[in-house]
Amino acid sequence: MRGRGLKTIAVLLIVAFLGAGCATMEANPKTTIGAVGGGTLGGLIAAAAGASPAAIAASVVGGILVGALAGNLLDERDRRLASEATQRALETAPTGQPVAWQNPDNGNSGKVVVVQTYQSGTGGYCREFQQSATIGGKTETVVGTACRPPDGSWRVVNS
């Protein structure tokens, strides 16, 4: 999706999240788990990257929204397949080559495409990527950046 489409989705997600309140989260435990996990992960990644307090707060909110959406829409196998595809794309895929995943149990699918690789100012490598998932015939796409710190793992620093 382009910038305007992502902004529209983000605004709709925020309105839906705030409008639904905790009742929706209590009704769907996967949404709660996704929101808590996403918010925690977003904040930890931003803090580890040395982000400003405002950027950390934004990462927590973004993580909550993305995590809640993922928890609500994707089952455990979908999340595992998407995570494995993301790791393969970041680790070995050439720029522009999609790494796909599909859950044969429910027909959900997705792909991850690295769009750019570069060396960060601290000397580590980063990869910008697009990740899409098709659930129930509807496709959503997000963009992000993952960097490799000295420990060798890939960490999403912006999504």
| Per-residue pLDDT tens digits for 19-54 | 444 333 344 445 555 555 565 666 567 666 666 666
Please state whether the predicted TM-score (pTM) of the whole model is above 0.95.
no
Give the Cα separation of 129 and 89 in Å (integer). Answer: 9
Give the pLDDT band of residue 114 (cuts 50, 70, 90).
Answer: very high
Answer for the pair 44, 141: CB distance below 8 angstroms, yes or no: no
- Give the separation between CA 48 and CA 64, rounded to whole angstroms: 18
User: For 54-102, how does the pLDDT look when each residue is reduced to its tens digit (9 = 90+)?
Assistant: 666 666 666 666 666 665 666 788 889 999 999 999 999 999 999 999 9
